[in-house]
C-alpha cells in the first residue's frame, strides 16, 4: 500500500491509455479508412455510391480524426503534468503497457459499438465481414492482455 507522498508510476497510466486510444484511432483512420479504403465511418449505412455519400463519410471520418486528436492531446497534457511531479517514477512498463491497453480498449469499444451494435461500418465489408470484425475485437483484447502483462512485469536488475 502506498502512503501519501510516496513515489509511484500510477500517474503514467492515464496518459498512456489516452495516447493508446488516440494512436489506435489514428491508425484505424489512416490505414483502414484512407490507405486501404476498407471502410469509412458511415459506409455501411451510406455507401460511397454518390458524391453526397462520399461527402458525408468524409465529414464523419474527419470527426473521427478530431476525436483521435482530442484523445492524443489529452494524453500529452496528462503526460506533461506527470512530468512536472517529483513523486512520479518513470516506469516504461507502466507507461507502454498502458498505451497498449488504451489501444486495445479503442479496438474493443469501437468494434462493439460501431461494427456490432450500430452496424455503421465493418472492418472489411463483404462475405467474411464477421470474421474481420471478430478478428479486430480479438486483436484489441490481445493488446489489452499484453499491455497488462507488460505493466506487471518487474524490472530485473
Query: What string of pLDDT tens digits covers the 157 residues of the chain?
Result: 444 558 899 999 999 999 999 999 999 999 999 999 999 999 999 999 999 999 999 999 999 999 999 999 999 999 999 999 999 999 999 999 999 999 999 999 999 999 999 999 999 999 999 999 999 999 999 999 999 999 998 555 3
Residue 88, helix vs strand vs coil: strand
Burial-class residue 35 by CB neighbours within 10 Å (0-12, 13-18, 19+). exposed
Q: How far apart (Å, rounded) are the C-alpha atoms in residues 65 and 28?
A: 10
Model confidence, pTM:
0.91
Burial-class residue 82 by CB neighbours within 10 Å (0-12, 13-18, 19+). buried
Amino acid at each position: 500500500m502506498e502512503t501519501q507522498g510516496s513515489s509511484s508510476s500510477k500517474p503514467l497510466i492515464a496518459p498512456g491509455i489516452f495516447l493508446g486510444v488516440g494512436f489506435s484511432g489514428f491508425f484505424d483512420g489512416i490505414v483502414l479508412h484512407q490507405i486501404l479504403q476498407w471502410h469509412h465511418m458511415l459506409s455501411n449505412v451510406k455507401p460511397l455510391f454518390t458524391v453526397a455519400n462520399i461527402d458525408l463519410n468524409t465529414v464523419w471520418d474527419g470527426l473521427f480524426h478530431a476525436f483521435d486528436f482530442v484523445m492524443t492531446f489529452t494524453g500529452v497534457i496528462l503526460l506533461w503534468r506527470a512530468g512536472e511531479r517529483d513523486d512520479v517514477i518513470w516506469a516504461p512498463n507502466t507507461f507502454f503497457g498502458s498505451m497498449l491497453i488504451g489501444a486495445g480498449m479503442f479496438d474493443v469499444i469501437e468494434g462493439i459499438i460501431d461494427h456490432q451494435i450500430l452496424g455503421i461500418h465493418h472492418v472489411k465489408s463483404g462475405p467474411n465481414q464477421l470474421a474481420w470484425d471478430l478478428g479486430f475485437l480479438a486483436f484489441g483484447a490481445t493488446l489489452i492482455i499484453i499491455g497488462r502483462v507488460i505493466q506487471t512485469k518487474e524490472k530485473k536488475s
